[in-house]
Structure 1
Amino acid sequence: MRKTPGWATAFLCCAMGGAALALGGCASSSDATSILNSDPPEKMYADADALMNKGSFDAAAKKFEDLDRSHPYSAEARRAIVLAAYAYYKAGKTPEAIASAERYTVMHPGTKDAPLAHHIIASSYFDDIKTANRDQQATRKALDQLRILKERYPDSSYARDADNRIRIAEDTLAASEMEVGRYYMNEKNYVAAINRFKTVVTDYQTTAHVEEALMRLTECYMALGVTNEAQTAVAVLGHNFPQSKWYRDAYALLQSDGLAPSQSNDSWITKAWKAVPKFSLGGPG
Protein backbone atom coordinates (compact mmCIF):
# COMPACT_ATOMS: atom_id res chain seq x y z
CA MET A 1 0.00 0.00 0.00
CA ARG A 2 1.39 3.37 -1.05
CA LYS A 3 1.96 5.88 1.68
CA THR A 4 0.59 9.35 1.17
CA PRO A 5 3.40 11.92 1.04
CA GLY A 6 3.60 14.29 3.96
CA TRP A 7 3.07 17.42 1.84
CA ALA A 8 -0.10 15.88 0.34
CA THR A 9 -1.49 15.15 3.79
CA ALA A 10 -0.76 18.69 4.87
CA PHE A 11 -2.39 20.11 1.71
CA LEU A 12 -5.50 17.96 2.25
CA CYS A 13 -5.83 19.12 5.85
CA CYS A 14 -5.53 22.75 4.80
CA ALA A 15 -8.11 22.30 2.07
CA MET A 16 -10.54 20.65 4.43
CA GLY A 17 -9.95 23.36 7.00
CA GLY A 18 -10.52 26.05 4.40
CA ALA A 19 -13.78 24.46 3.34
CA ALA A 20 -14.91 24.32 6.93
CA LEU A 21 -14.06 27.99 7.38
CA ALA A 22 -15.93 28.88 4.20
CA LEU A 23 -18.99 27.02 5.36
CA GLY A 24 -18.72 28.66 8.74
CA GLY A 25 -18.40 32.05 7.04
CA CYS A 26 -21.55 31.46 5.03
CA ALA A 27 -23.44 30.44 8.12
CA SER A 28 -22.18 33.50 9.99
CA SER A 29 -23.18 35.81 7.12
CA SER A 30 -26.60 34.24 6.96
CA ASP A 31 -27.06 34.61 10.70
CA ALA A 32 -26.05 38.28 10.52
CA THR A 33 -28.52 38.93 7.72
CA SER A 34 -31.21 37.15 9.66
CA ILE A 35 -30.53 39.29 12.72
CA LEU A 36 -30.53 42.52 10.69
CA ASN A 37 -33.86 41.72 9.06
CA SER A 38 -35.57 40.13 12.05
CA ASP A 39 -37.97 43.07 12.52
CA PRO A 40 -39.93 44.89 9.82
CA PRO A 41 -38.92 48.51 9.21
CA GLU A 42 -42.12 49.97 10.66
CA LYS A 43 -41.50 48.17 13.96
CA MET A 44 -37.86 49.28 14.10
CA TYR A 45 -38.95 52.84 13.41
CA ALA A 46 -41.59 52.68 16.16
CA ASP A 47 -39.05 51.23 18.60
CA ALA A 48 -36.54 53.98 17.83
CA ASP A 49 -39.24 56.63 18.16
CA ALA A 50 -40.23 55.20 21.54
CA LEU A 51 -36.62 55.40 22.71
CA MET A 52 -36.54 59.04 21.60
CA ASN A 53 -39.67 59.81 23.60
CA LYS A 54 -38.09 58.21 26.67
CA GLY A 55 -34.97 60.37 26.28
CA SER A 56 -32.76 57.41 25.40
CA PHE A 57 -31.21 59.34 22.53
CA ASP A 58 -28.04 57.32 22.05
CA ALA A 59 -30.00 54.06 21.88
CA ALA A 60 -32.54 55.67 19.55
CA ALA A 61 -29.79 56.84 17.20
CA LYS A 62 -28.34 53.36 16.99
CA LYS A 63 -31.82 51.90 16.36
CA PHE A 64 -32.43 54.34 13.52
CA GLU A 65 -29.05 53.41 12.04
CA ASP A 66 -29.93 49.71 12.35
CA LEU A 67 -33.12 50.41 10.44
CA ASP A 68 -31.22 52.15 7.65
CA ARG A 69 -28.74 49.27 7.38
CA SER A 70 -31.35 46.53 7.54
CA HIS A 71 -33.94 48.05 5.22
CA PRO A 72 -32.14 50.70 3.13
CA TYR A 73 -34.90 50.82 0.48
CA SER A 74 -37.85 51.06 2.85
CA ALA A 75 -39.95 54.19 3.19
CA GLU A 76 -38.76 54.57 6.79
CA ALA A 77 -35.03 54.35 6.00
CA ARG A 78 -34.58 57.85 4.54
CA ARG A 79 -36.10 59.63 7.52
CA ALA A 80 -34.21 57.32 9.86
CA ILE A 81 -30.92 58.89 8.71
CA VAL A 82 -31.87 62.40 9.73
CA LEU A 83 -33.54 61.22 12.92
CA ALA A 84 -30.37 59.35 13.85
CA ALA A 85 -28.53 62.64 13.41
CA TYR A 86 -31.04 64.44 15.62
CA ALA A 87 -30.85 61.73 18.28
CA TYR A 88 -27.05 61.87 18.30
CA TYR A 89 -27.22 65.66 18.65
CA LYS A 90 -29.59 65.34 21.61
CA ALA A 91 -27.23 62.74 23.12
CA GLY A 92 -24.36 65.25 22.91
CA LYS A 93 -22.49 63.26 20.28
CA THR A 94 -21.93 66.06 17.80
CA PRO A 95 -19.37 64.35 15.50
CA GLU A 96 -21.83 61.49 14.95
CA ALA A 97 -24.70 63.95 14.52
CA ILE A 98 -22.77 65.94 11.89
CA ALA A 99 -21.70 62.80 10.01
CA SER A 100 -25.24 61.43 9.83
CA ALA A 101 -26.79 64.77 8.87
CA GLU A 102 -24.16 65.38 6.18
CA ARG A 103 -24.86 61.94 4.78
CA TYR A 104 -28.52 62.87 4.53
CA THR A 105 -27.80 66.17 2.73
CA VAL A 106 -25.64 64.33 0.18
CA MET A 107 -28.09 61.50 -0.43
CA HIS A 108 -31.36 63.45 -0.23
CA PRO A 109 -30.81 67.14 -1.04
CA GLY A 110 -33.90 69.28 -1.44
CA THR A 111 -36.22 66.87 0.35
CA LYS A 112 -38.62 67.76 3.13
CA ASP A 113 -36.15 66.89 5.89
CA ALA A 114 -33.11 68.55 4.27
CA PRO A 115 -33.64 71.79 6.26
CA LEU A 116 -33.63 69.76 9.48
CA ALA A 117 -30.37 68.08 8.46
CA HIS A 118 -28.70 71.44 7.79
CA HIS A 119 -30.14 72.76 11.06
CA ILE A 120 -28.56 69.86 12.96
CA ILE A 121 -25.17 70.50 11.35
CA ALA A 122 -25.44 74.24 12.04
CA SER A 123 -26.48 73.66 15.66
CA SER A 124 -23.66 71.21 16.25
CA TYR A 125 -21.06 73.70 15.06
CA PHE A 126 -22.82 76.68 16.66
CA ASP A 127 -22.67 75.01 20.08
CA ASP A 128 -18.90 74.72 19.61
CA ILE A 129 -18.27 78.43 18.90
CA LYS A 130 -15.25 79.70 20.82
CA THR A 131 -14.42 83.16 22.12
CA ALA A 132 -12.95 85.67 19.66
CA ASN A 133 -9.35 84.98 20.67
CA ARG A 134 -9.58 81.28 19.79
CA ASP A 135 -9.89 79.24 16.59
CA GLN A 136 -13.06 80.08 14.64
CA GLN A 137 -13.39 77.02 12.41
CA ALA A 138 -16.64 75.94 14.08
CA THR A 139 -18.05 79.47 13.74
CA ARG A 140 -17.36 79.56 10.01
CA LYS A 141 -18.92 76.13 9.48
CA ALA A 142 -21.98 77.10 11.50
CA LEU A 143 -22.36 80.29 9.48
CA ASP A 144 -22.07 78.37 6.19
CA GLN A 145 -24.91 76.04 7.20
CA LEU A 146 -27.08 78.88 8.51
CA ARG A 147 -26.68 80.73 5.22
CA ILE A 148 -27.63 77.56 3.31
CA LEU A 149 -30.84 77.43 5.34
CA LYS A 150 -31.63 81.05 4.51
CA GLU A 151 -30.79 80.76 0.81
CA ARG A 152 -32.14 77.31 -0.10
CA TYR A 153 -35.00 76.90 2.36
CA PRO A 154 -36.20 80.44 3.19
CA ASP A 155 -39.71 79.25 4.07
CA SER A 156 -38.61 76.66 6.61
CA SER A 157 -38.97 77.30 10.33
CA TYR A 158 -35.26 76.65 10.72
CA ALA A 159 -34.43 79.45 8.28
CA ARG A 160 -36.66 81.87 10.18
CA ASP A 161 -34.87 81.00 13.41
CA ALA A 162 -31.42 81.32 11.84
CA ASP A 163 -31.24 85.13 11.75
CA ASN A 164 -30.13 85.63 15.34
CA ARG A 165 -27.55 82.88 15.10
CA ILE A 166 -26.15 84.42 11.92
CA ARG A 167 -25.75 87.74 13.74
CA ILE A 168 -23.93 86.04 16.62
CA ALA A 169 -21.64 84.08 14.29
CA GLU A 170 -20.80 87.16 12.21
CA ASP A 171 -20.14 89.22 15.34
CA THR A 172 -17.81 86.52 16.67
CA LEU A 173 -15.89 86.32 13.39
CA ALA A 174 -15.62 90.12 13.20
CA ALA A 175 -14.37 90.26 16.79
CA SER A 176 -11.76 87.63 15.94
CA GLU A 177 -10.53 89.65 12.95
CA MET A 178 -10.31 92.74 15.17
CA GLU A 179 -8.27 90.84 17.77
CA VAL A 180 -5.70 89.80 15.16
CA GLY A 181 -5.73 93.21 13.48
CA ARG A 182 -4.99 95.00 16.76
CA TYR A 183 -2.14 92.56 17.41
CA TYR A 184 -0.56 93.39 14.03
CA MET A 185 -1.01 97.11 14.72
CA ASN A 186 0.87 96.79 18.00
CA GLU A 187 3.62 95.03 16.06
CA LYS A 188 3.57 97.91 13.54
CA ASN A 189 2.74 95.44 10.76
CA TYR A 190 0.22 97.81 9.25
CA VAL A 191 -0.35 95.97 5.97
CA ALA A 192 -1.32 92.77 7.79
CA ALA A 193 -3.54 94.78 10.15
CA ILE A 194 -5.28 96.49 7.22
CA ASN A 195 -6.12 93.11 5.71
CA ARG A 196 -7.89 92.09 8.92
CA PHE A 197 -9.83 95.33 9.30
CA LYS A 198 -10.68 95.20 5.61
CA THR A 199 -12.37 91.83 6.16
CA VAL A 200 -14.59 93.38 8.84
CA VAL A 201 -15.57 96.30 6.60
CA THR A 202 -16.15 94.06 3.58
CA ASP A 203 -17.81 91.02 5.13
CA TYR A 204 -19.25 92.11 8.48
CA GLN A 205 -20.66 95.59 7.90
CA THR A 206 -23.74 94.93 10.03
CA THR A 207 -21.74 94.15 13.18
CA ALA A 208 -20.85 96.65 15.88
CA HIS A 209 -17.15 96.10 15.15
CA VAL A 210 -17.24 97.95 11.83
CA GLU A 211 -16.99 101.35 13.55
CA GLU A 212 -13.71 100.47 15.24
CA ALA A 213 -12.48 98.79 12.06
CA LEU A 214 -12.87 102.04 10.12
CA MET A 215 -11.05 103.93 12.86
CA ARG A 216 -8.20 101.39 12.89
CA LEU A 217 -7.96 101.62 9.12
CA THR A 218 -7.57 105.36 9.53
CA GLU A 219 -4.70 104.83 11.96
CA CYS A 220 -2.97 102.28 9.73
CA TYR A 221 -3.28 104.33 6.56
CA MET A 222 -2.04 107.45 8.35
CA ALA A 223 0.95 105.50 9.65
CA LEU A 224 1.72 104.38 6.07
CA GLY A 225 1.12 107.85 4.62
CA VAL A 226 -1.82 106.70 2.48
CA THR A 227 -3.92 109.72 3.38
CA ASN A 228 -6.64 109.37 0.73
CA GLU A 229 -7.70 105.99 2.13
CA ALA A 230 -7.57 107.37 5.67
CA GLN A 231 -9.80 110.29 4.65
CA THR A 232 -12.26 107.92 2.96
CA ALA A 233 -12.42 105.69 6.04
CA VAL A 234 -13.29 108.66 8.24
CA ALA A 235 -15.84 109.98 5.73
CA VAL A 236 -17.67 106.65 5.62
CA LEU A 237 -17.46 106.34 9.41
CA GLY A 238 -18.84 109.83 9.96
CA HIS A 239 -21.65 109.47 7.47
CA ASN A 240 -22.91 106.20 8.89
CA PHE A 241 -22.04 106.63 12.58
CA PRO A 242 -21.91 110.40 13.23
CA GLN A 243 -22.32 110.00 17.01
CA SER A 244 -19.68 107.30 17.36
CA LYS A 245 -16.68 107.84 19.62
CA TRP A 246 -14.64 106.08 16.96
CA TYR A 247 -15.60 108.83 14.50
CA ARG A 248 -14.58 111.54 16.93
CA ASP A 249 -11.18 109.88 17.43
CA ALA A 250 -10.67 109.31 13.70
CA TYR A 251 -11.67 112.88 12.87
CA ALA A 252 -9.25 114.24 15.45
CA LEU A 253 -6.46 112.09 13.99
CA LEU A 254 -7.03 113.56 10.54
CA GLN A 255 -7.15 117.10 11.93
CA SER A 256 -3.81 116.59 13.70
CA ASP A 257 -2.27 116.23 10.24
CA GLY A 258 -4.22 119.10 8.70
CA LEU A 259 -6.66 116.79 6.87
CA ALA A 260 -10.44 116.42 6.71
CA PRO A 261 -12.78 113.55 5.80
CA SER A 262 -13.10 113.14 2.04
CA GLN A 263 -14.59 110.18 0.20
CA SER A 264 -12.71 108.82 -2.80
CA ASN A 265 -14.83 106.93 -5.31
CA ASP A 266 -11.77 104.91 -6.30
CA SER A 267 -11.22 103.65 -2.77
CA TRP A 268 -11.96 99.99 -1.98
CA ILE A 269 -13.81 101.25 1.12
CA THR A 270 -16.27 103.16 -1.04
CA LYS A 271 -16.75 100.16 -3.34
CA ALA A 272 -17.15 97.73 -0.46
CA TRP A 273 -19.62 99.78 1.51
CA LYS A 274 -23.27 99.13 0.83
CA ALA A 275 -24.99 102.00 -0.99
CA VAL A 276 -22.72 104.76 0.28
CA PRO A 277 -23.96 108.08 -1.18
CA LYS A 278 -21.67 110.92 -2.21
CA PHE A 279 -21.37 113.52 0.54
CA SER A 280 -19.14 116.09 2.14
CA LEU A 281 -18.58 116.28 5.86
CA GLY A 282 -17.72 118.96 8.33
CA GLY A 283 -16.47 118.28 11.83
CA PRO A 284 -18.20 116.07 14.37
CA GLY A 285 -21.14 117.57 16.17
Structure 2
Amino acid sequence: MHHIGRIGSLLALAVLAACSNTPKDDPNSQASLDKLYAEAKDELSTGAYERAIKLLERIEGRAAGTLMAQQAMLEMAWAQHRSGEKAQALATLDRFLKLHPSSAGADYALYLKGLVNFNEDLGLFGRLANQDVSERDQQASRDALQSFRELIEKYPSSRYAADARTRIDFITNTLAQHEVHVARYYFVRGAYVAAASRAQTAVTEYQYAPAVEEALSIQAQSYDRLQLPQLRDDALRVLRKNFPQSKYLADGGRQDKPWWRLW
Protein backbone atom coordinates (compact mmCIF):
# COMPACT_ATOMS: atom_id res chain seq x y z
CA MET A 1 0.00 0.00 0.00
CA HIS A 2 1.55 3.28 -1.09
CA HIS A 3 0.89 5.87 1.53
CA ILE A 4 0.84 8.89 -0.78
CA GLY A 5 -2.19 7.57 -2.65
CA ARG A 6 -3.96 6.84 0.65
CA ILE A 7 -3.35 10.26 2.12
CA GLY A 8 -5.37 12.05 -0.54
CA SER A 9 -4.11 14.86 -2.70
CA LEU A 10 -3.83 17.87 -0.51
CA LEU A 11 -0.93 18.76 -2.74
CA ALA A 12 -3.08 18.89 -5.87
CA LEU A 13 -5.18 21.61 -4.26
CA ALA A 14 -2.06 23.51 -3.32
CA VAL A 15 -0.77 23.45 -6.88
CA LEU A 16 -4.07 24.74 -8.27
CA ALA A 17 -4.05 27.60 -5.79
CA ALA A 18 -0.48 28.64 -6.56
CA CYS A 19 0.32 31.86 -8.42
CA SER A 20 1.57 31.11 -11.90
CA ASN A 21 3.56 34.32 -12.30
CA THR A 22 5.98 33.85 -9.39
CA PRO A 23 9.61 34.20 -10.52
CA LYS A 24 11.19 30.81 -11.14
CA ASP A 25 14.35 31.68 -9.22
CA ASP A 26 12.38 32.39 -6.07
CA PRO A 27 12.98 29.45 -3.67
CA ASN A 28 9.45 29.96 -2.36
CA SER A 29 7.85 29.88 -5.79
CA GLN A 30 5.48 27.08 -6.67
CA ALA A 31 7.87 25.84 -9.32
CA SER A 32 10.70 25.59 -6.79
CA LEU A 33 8.47 23.91 -4.24
CA ASP A 34 7.18 21.46 -6.84
CA LYS A 35 10.74 20.56 -7.77
CA LEU A 36 11.66 20.10 -4.12
CA TYR A 37 8.61 17.93 -3.51
CA ALA A 38 9.40 15.77 -6.53
CA GLU A 39 12.88 15.21 -5.10
CA ALA A 40 11.38 14.26 -1.73
CA LYS A 41 9.04 11.77 -3.43
CA ASP A 42 11.97 10.18 -5.20
CA GLU A 43 13.83 9.80 -1.91
CA LEU A 44 10.74 8.29 -0.27
CA SER A 45 10.26 5.81 -3.08
CA THR A 46 13.81 4.51 -2.68
CA GLY A 47 13.64 4.36 1.13
CA ALA A 48 16.06 7.24 1.64
CA TYR A 49 13.98 8.54 4.50
CA GLU A 50 16.54 10.79 6.16
CA ARG A 51 17.13 12.74 2.94
CA ALA A 52 13.38 12.87 2.32
CA ILE A 53 12.75 14.25 5.81
CA LYS A 54 15.25 17.09 5.27
CA LEU A 55 13.61 18.03 1.97
CA LEU A 56 10.13 17.91 3.49
CA GLU A 57 11.25 20.11 6.38
CA ARG A 58 12.39 22.70 3.85
CA ILE A 59 9.07 22.49 2.02
CA GLU A 60 7.10 22.94 5.23
CA GLY A 61 9.11 26.01 6.15
CA ARG A 62 8.92 27.63 2.74
CA ALA A 63 5.26 26.83 2.13
CA ALA A 64 4.04 27.69 5.64
CA GLY A 65 0.29 28.24 5.81
CA THR A 66 -0.45 26.34 2.62
CA LEU A 67 -1.90 22.94 1.82
CA MET A 68 1.52 21.92 0.52
CA ALA A 69 2.97 22.51 3.99
CA GLN A 70 0.31 20.25 5.46
CA GLN A 71 1.10 17.55 2.91
CA ALA A 72 4.81 17.86 3.69
CA MET A 73 4.14 17.36 7.39
CA LEU A 74 2.17 14.18 6.76
CA GLU A 75 4.84 12.85 4.42
CA MET A 76 7.49 13.76 6.97
CA ALA A 77 5.69 11.89 9.76
CA TRP A 78 5.42 8.83 7.52
CA ALA A 79 9.13 8.97 6.70
CA GLN A 80 10.02 9.38 10.37
CA HIS A 81 7.84 6.38 11.20
CA ARG A 82 9.43 4.26 8.48
CA SER A 83 12.93 5.19 9.60
CA GLY A 84 12.21 4.16 13.20
CA GLU A 85 12.01 7.68 14.62
CA LYS A 86 8.89 7.04 16.67
CA ALA A 87 9.13 10.07 18.97
CA GLN A 88 9.77 12.44 16.07
CA ALA A 89 6.87 11.00 14.06
CA LEU A 90 4.46 11.40 16.98
CA ALA A 91 5.68 14.95 17.60
CA THR A 92 5.12 15.84 13.94
CA LEU A 93 1.62 14.38 13.98
CA ASP A 94 0.70 16.09 17.24
CA ARG A 95 1.92 19.38 15.78
CA PHE A 96 -0.10 18.78 12.62
CA LEU A 97 -3.30 18.08 14.56
CA LYS A 98 -2.76 21.13 16.74
CA LEU A 99 -2.12 23.45 13.81
CA HIS A 100 -4.66 21.93 11.41
CA PRO A 101 -7.48 20.31 13.40
CA SER A 102 -9.98 20.73 10.55
CA SER A 103 -7.62 19.66 7.77
CA ALA A 104 -8.74 17.14 5.18
CA GLY A 105 -5.74 15.09 6.33
CA ALA A 106 -6.65 15.04 10.03
CA ASP A 107 -8.15 11.55 9.83
CA TYR A 108 -4.97 10.24 8.23
CA ALA A 109 -2.88 11.95 10.94
CA LEU A 110 -4.84 10.11 13.64
CA TYR A 111 -4.57 6.86 11.72
CA LEU A 112 -0.82 7.26 11.34
CA LYS A 113 -0.51 8.05 15.07
CA GLY A 114 -2.13 4.71 15.71
CA LEU A 115 0.17 2.94 13.27
CA VAL A 116 3.28 4.46 14.82
CA ASN A 117 2.34 2.91 18.15
CA PHE A 118 1.04 -0.31 16.66
CA ASN A 119 3.90 -2.78 16.38
CA GLU A 120 2.93 -4.69 13.25
CA ASP A 121 5.80 -7.15 13.60
CA LEU A 122 4.19 -8.42 16.79
CA GLY A 123 0.67 -7.49 15.85
CA LEU A 124 -1.85 -8.04 13.11
CA PHE A 125 0.41 -9.98 10.77
CA GLY A 126 2.19 -12.07 13.37
CA ARG A 127 5.59 -11.97 11.72
CA LEU A 128 7.17 -12.96 15.00
CA ALA A 129 4.51 -15.46 16.00
CA ASN A 130 6.75 -17.13 18.57
CA GLN A 131 6.59 -14.03 20.79
CA ASP A 132 3.64 -13.45 23.09
CA VAL A 133 2.59 -9.82 22.65
CA SER A 134 0.48 -10.01 25.79
CA GLU A 135 3.68 -10.30 27.83
CA ARG A 136 5.24 -7.11 26.47
CA ASP A 137 4.87 -3.55 27.74
CA GLN A 138 1.44 -2.36 26.66
CA GLN A 139 1.68 1.45 26.80
CA ALA A 140 2.20 1.75 23.05
CA SER A 141 -0.84 -0.46 22.47
CA ARG A 142 -2.94 1.77 24.74
CA ASP A 143 -1.75 4.86 22.87
CA ALA A 144 -2.56 3.22 19.54
CA LEU A 145 -6.00 2.24 20.82
CA GLN A 146 -6.70 5.82 21.83
CA SER A 147 -5.73 7.17 18.40
CA PHE A 148 -7.78 4.60 16.50
CA ARG A 149 -10.80 5.21 18.73
CA GLU A 150 -10.53 8.96 18.24
CA LEU A 151 -10.36 8.40 14.50
CA ILE A 152 -13.57 6.36 14.27
CA GLU A 153 -15.38 8.68 16.70
CA LYS A 154 -14.51 11.85 14.79
CA TYR A 155 -14.40 10.42 11.27
CA PRO A 156 -16.62 7.30 11.14
CA SER A 157 -16.78 7.49 7.32
CA SER A 158 -13.03 7.88 6.86
CA ARG A 159 -11.32 5.55 4.42
CA TYR A 160 -9.14 4.48 7.37
CA ALA A 161 -12.02 3.70 9.75
CA ALA A 162 -12.51 0.05 8.76
CA ASP A 163 -8.85 -0.80 9.25
CA ALA A 164 -8.81 1.15 12.50
CA ARG A 165 -11.74 -0.95 13.80
CA THR A 166 -9.88 -4.16 12.97
CA ARG A 167 -6.84 -2.94 14.86
CA ILE A 168 -8.99 -1.83 17.80
CA ASP A 169 -10.36 -5.37 18.12
CA PHE A 170 -6.87 -6.83 18.01
CA ILE A 171 -5.42 -4.36 20.52
CA THR A 172 -8.36 -4.83 22.89
CA ASN A 173 -7.84 -8.59 22.87
CA THR A 174 -4.11 -8.16 23.39
CA LEU A 175 -4.56 -5.82 26.35
CA ALA A 176 -7.03 -8.23 27.94
CA GLN A 177 -4.56 -11.08 27.45
CA HIS A 178 -1.89 -8.97 29.11
CA GLU A 179 -4.03 -8.40 32.20
CA VAL A 180 -4.77 -12.13 32.41
CA HIS A 181 -1.09 -12.98 31.98
CA VAL A 182 -0.21 -10.69 34.90
CA ALA A 183 -3.11 -12.02 36.98
CA ARG A 184 -1.94 -15.58 36.36
CA TYR A 185 1.61 -14.59 37.33
CA TYR A 186 0.41 -13.17 40.66
CA PHE A 187 -1.85 -16.12 41.38
CA VAL A 188 0.87 -18.73 40.89
CA ARG A 189 3.06 -16.77 43.31
CA GLY A 190 0.35 -16.56 45.94
CA ALA A 191 -0.40 -12.85 45.53
CA TYR A 192 -4.13 -13.45 45.42
CA VAL A 193 -5.28 -9.88 46.03
CA ALA A 194 -3.16 -8.64 43.13
CA ALA A 195 -4.32 -11.55 40.96
CA ALA A 196 -7.98 -10.79 41.60
CA SER A 197 -7.40 -7.10 40.93
CA ARG A 198 -5.73 -7.64 37.56
CA ALA A 199 -8.35 -10.17 36.55
CA GLN A 200 -11.05 -7.63 37.46
CA THR A 201 -9.34 -5.07 35.21
CA ALA A 202 -9.65 -7.46 32.27
CA VAL A 203 -13.31 -8.15 33.06
CA THR A 204 -14.22 -4.48 33.49
CA GLU A 205 -12.22 -2.80 30.75
CA TYR A 206 -12.27 -5.49 28.06
CA GLN A 207 -15.56 -7.26 28.77
CA TYR A 208 -16.01 -8.57 25.22
CA ALA A 209 -12.50 -9.98 24.83
CA PRO A 210 -12.07 -13.78 24.81
CA ALA A 211 -9.50 -13.54 27.62
CA VAL A 212 -12.28 -12.53 30.04
CA GLU A 213 -13.19 -16.20 30.33
CA GLU A 214 -9.90 -17.05 32.03
CA ALA A 215 -9.95 -13.78 33.97
CA LEU A 216 -13.19 -14.82 35.68
CA SER A 217 -11.72 -18.21 36.53
CA ILE A 218 -8.65 -16.57 38.10
CA GLN A 219 -10.92 -14.23 40.03
CA ALA A 220 -12.92 -17.13 41.45
CA GLN A 221 -9.82 -19.03 42.48
CA SER A 222 -8.19 -15.95 44.02
CA TYR A 223 -11.27 -15.14 46.09
CA ASP A 224 -11.44 -18.75 47.22
CA ARG A 225 -7.85 -18.63 48.44
CA LEU A 226 -8.66 -15.37 50.20
CA GLN A 227 -11.66 -17.06 51.85
CA LEU A 228 -14.15 -14.71 50.24
CA PRO A 229 -16.88 -17.17 49.18
CA GLN A 230 -19.43 -14.58 48.14
CA LEU A 231 -17.04 -12.87 45.72
CA ARG A 232 -15.88 -16.28 44.50
CA ASP A 233 -19.43 -17.36 43.78
CA ASP A 234 -20.21 -14.07 42.04
CA ALA A 235 -17.26 -14.57 39.69
CA LEU A 236 -18.32 -18.15 39.00
CA ARG A 237 -21.87 -17.04 38.33
CA VAL A 238 -20.70 -14.54 35.73
CA LEU A 239 -18.38 -17.13 34.19
CA ARG A 240 -21.19 -19.68 33.98
CA LYS A 241 -23.62 -17.17 32.48
CA ASN A 242 -21.30 -15.80 29.82
CA PHE A 243 -19.29 -18.92 29.04
CA PRO A 244 -21.59 -21.88 29.75
CA GLN A 245 -19.34 -24.25 27.79
CA SER A 246 -16.13 -22.95 29.35
CA LYS A 247 -13.32 -25.42 29.86
CA TYR A 248 -12.88 -23.84 33.27
CA LEU A 249 -16.28 -25.25 34.23
CA ALA A 250 -15.56 -28.77 32.97
CA ASP A 251 -13.49 -30.06 35.87
CA GLY A 252 -16.24 -31.86 37.76
CA GLY A 253 -14.54 -35.28 37.72
CA ARG A 254 -11.71 -34.30 40.01
CA GLN A 255 -11.93 -35.47 43.59
CA ASP A 256 -8.88 -33.74 45.03
CA LYS A 257 -10.13 -30.17 44.74
CA PRO A 258 -13.29 -28.16 44.02
CA TRP A 259 -14.61 -28.73 40.48
CA TRP A 260 -13.85 -25.14 39.39
CA ARG A 261 -10.27 -24.98 40.70
CA LEU A 262 -7.50 -25.39 38.11
CA TRP A 263 -4.34 -25.07 40.24
Cα displacement (A) at 1:221 = 1.3
Out of 58, 65, 68, which is 1:66 matched to?
Answer: 58
Cα displacement (A) at 1:72 = 1.3
* Separation in 1, partners of 2:151, 2:253: 41
Corresponding residue number in structure 1 for 2:144? 142
* Separation in 1, partners of 2:66, 2:97: 18
Give the letter for the 1:77 counterpart. Answer: A
DSSP-derived class of the 1:110 partner: coil
Pair 1:52 & 2:54 matched: no
Q: What are the ranges of 5 or more consecutive residues in structure 1 without an aligned counterpart?
A: 1-33, 260-285
* Separation in 1, partners of 2:176, 2:195: 13
Corresponding residue number in structure 2 for 1:202? 204
Pair 1:80 & 2:72 matched: yes
DSSP-derived class of the 2:219 partner: helix
Relative to 1, partners in 2 of residues 1:149 and 1:223: Cα closer, same or farther, differing over 3 Å?
same
Cα displacement (A) at 1:209 = 0.8
TM-score normalized by the length of structure 2 = 0.75
8 Å contact 1:215–1:250 — kept in the other structure?
Answer: no
Count, aligned residues:
224
- Greater Rg by CA: 1
* Separation in 2, partners of 1:210, 1:250: 21
Pair 1:190 & 2:182 matched: no
Out of 95, 98, 106, which is 1:103 matched to?
Answer: 95
Relative to 1, partners in 2 of residues 1:75 and 1:166: Cα closer, same or farther, differing over 3 Å?
closer
Cα displacement (A) at 1:249 = 4.3
Pair 1:119 & 2:111 matched: yes
Can you list the C-alpha shifts for 1:24-44, whole angstroms capped at 9, x where unaligned? xxxxxxxxxx99758743333
* Separation in 2, partners of 1:215, 1:78: 51
Pair 1:239 & 2:241 matched: yes
Cα displacement (A) at 1:127 = 1.6
DSSP-derived class of the 2:79 partner: helix
Cα displacement (A) at 1:45 = 2.8
8 Å contact 2:27–2:33 — kept in the other structure?
Answer: no
* Separation in 2, partners of 1:193, 1:156: 40
* Separation in 2, partners of 1:83, 1:250: 60
